[in-house]
């Protein structure tokens, strides 16, 4: 067996990007969940955030392991994601990738274990890492399940996305609502344009709430998403982003906007819906618990102890 080789690059070439994408698909099929986030998938093709670095491990010119490092900014540490080809597992590749990205990312760097699978837990234990952040995936049924009635208060105007003229207000609310969030809070027009170009984008699934007295200043929004059928897995809806401006907190807008999206997804014939929420976001967890969501799986960001 030949020795594998690691190399860093600021941008994957066309063949590398195709090979990494295929590796990610194989890993997803083998594990039942994606090893790299949506933002990370965009970065593979060169459309992701500026400053992302890519680490590939090759064996006889075949990519057997991949990691990417999102740079830190402000108080947010560098974040890494990785995947190992299912056919090359059990050879220490995952441990080598984790060691390298944490070294490159600096003392506060973290690495995601999506689904926190047993192999990832074993690597973390072997390297003396500890869980520093949890991202929960919650789910609830839509088909044959009761949903609370959607009642829009008289002082609120609720409508759907009309086009790029809505982007400045969406980005403004997103930035202040997620100022604490290392990925979501840094969205720009680039991220909006990338998502509008996706096959799943549907303007009628992006709900926007305004004060009835001022329909120019956005209070909050809920962007839904539909994941298509994959193999034996049926299509599923997603509460993709719910953002409420700080000056609009405490008015029940999170619940209102979430409900609007749930009714929309159910009306499209979807049988279930998922969402992601930070494990320490008590207020959001309370809202989603009351709406019938239950924990499905957990992503863990590991860091040096």
Q: Is position 255 annotated in a ligand binding site?
A: yes
Any known ligand binding at 38? yes
Find out whether 128 is annotated in a ligand binding site.
Answer: no
Query: Does 285 carry a binding-site annotation?
Result: yes
Q: Is 89 annotated as a binding residue?
A: no
Annotated binding-site residue? 254: yes
Find out whether 135 is annotated in a ligand binding site: no
Annotated binding residue at 83? yes
Q: Is 277 annotated as a binding residue?
A: no
Q: Which residues of 98-107 are buried (b: 16+ CB within 10 A; e: fewer)?
A: bebbbeebee
Does residue 46 have a known ligand-binding role? no
Residues paired with residue 208 on neighbouring β-strands, in sequence order: 159, 221
39 among annotated binding-site residues: no
Is 252 marked within a binding site?
A: yes
Question: 66 labelled as ligand-binding?
Answer: no
Q: Give the number of C-alpha atoms closer than 13 A to the C-alpha of residue 130, restricted to the C-beta side.
A: 4
* C-alpha distances in Å from residue 120, one per residue of 53, 83, 203: 21, 10, 38
Q: Say whether 286 counts as a known binding-site residue.
A: yes
Q: Is 183 annotated as a binding residue?
A: yes
The response to whether 253 counts as a known ligand-binding position is yes
Q: Is 281 part of any known ligand binding site?
A: yes
198 known ligand binder: no
Annotated binding residue 302: no
Q: Is 63 annotated as a binding residue?
A: no
The rounded distance, in Å, linking the Cα atoms of 52 and 79 is 10
Provide the annotated binding site for acetyl-CoA: 82-84, 242-244, 249-255, 281-286
Provide the annotated binding site: 38, 82-84, 183, 225, 238, 242-244, 249-255, 276, 281-286
């Amino acid at each position: 067996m030949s020795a594998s080789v690691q190399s860093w690059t600021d941008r994957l070439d066309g063949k590398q990007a195709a090979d990494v994408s295929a590796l990610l698909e194989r890993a997803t099929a083998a594990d039942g969940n994606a090893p790299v986030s949506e933002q990370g998938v965009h970065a593979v093709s060169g459309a992701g955030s500026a400053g992302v670095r890519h680490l590939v491990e090759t064996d006889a010119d075949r990519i057997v392991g991949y990691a990417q490092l999102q740079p830190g900014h402000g108080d947010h540490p560098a974040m890494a994601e990785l995947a190992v080809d299912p056919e090359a597992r059990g050879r220490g590749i995952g441990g080598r990738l984790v060691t390298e990205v944490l070294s490159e990312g600096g003392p506060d760097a973290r690495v995601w274990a999506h689904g926190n699978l047993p192999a990832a837990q074993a690597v973390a234990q072997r390297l003396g890492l500890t869980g520093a952040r949890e991202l929960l995936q919650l789910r609830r049924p839509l088909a044959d399940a009761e949903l609370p009635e959607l009642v829009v208060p008289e002082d609120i105007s609720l409508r759907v996305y009309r086009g790029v003229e809505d982007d400045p207000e969406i980005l403004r609310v997103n930035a202040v609502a997620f100022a604490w969030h290392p990925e979501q809070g840094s969205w720009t027009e680039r991220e909006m344009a990338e998502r509008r170009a996706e096959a799943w984008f549907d303007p009628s699934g992006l709900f926007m709430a305004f004060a009835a007295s001022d329909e120019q200043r956005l209070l909050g929004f809920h962007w839904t998403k539909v994941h298509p059928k994959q193999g034996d897995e049926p299509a599923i809806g997603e509460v993709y982003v719910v953002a409420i401006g700080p000056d609009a907190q405490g008015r029940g807008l999170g619940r209102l906007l979430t409900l609007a999206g749930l009714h929309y997804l159910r009306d499209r014939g979807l049988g279930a819906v998922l969402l992601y929420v930070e494990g320490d976001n008590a207020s959001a967890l309370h809202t989603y618990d009351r709406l019938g969501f239950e924990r499905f799986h957990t992503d863990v960001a590991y860091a040096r102890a």
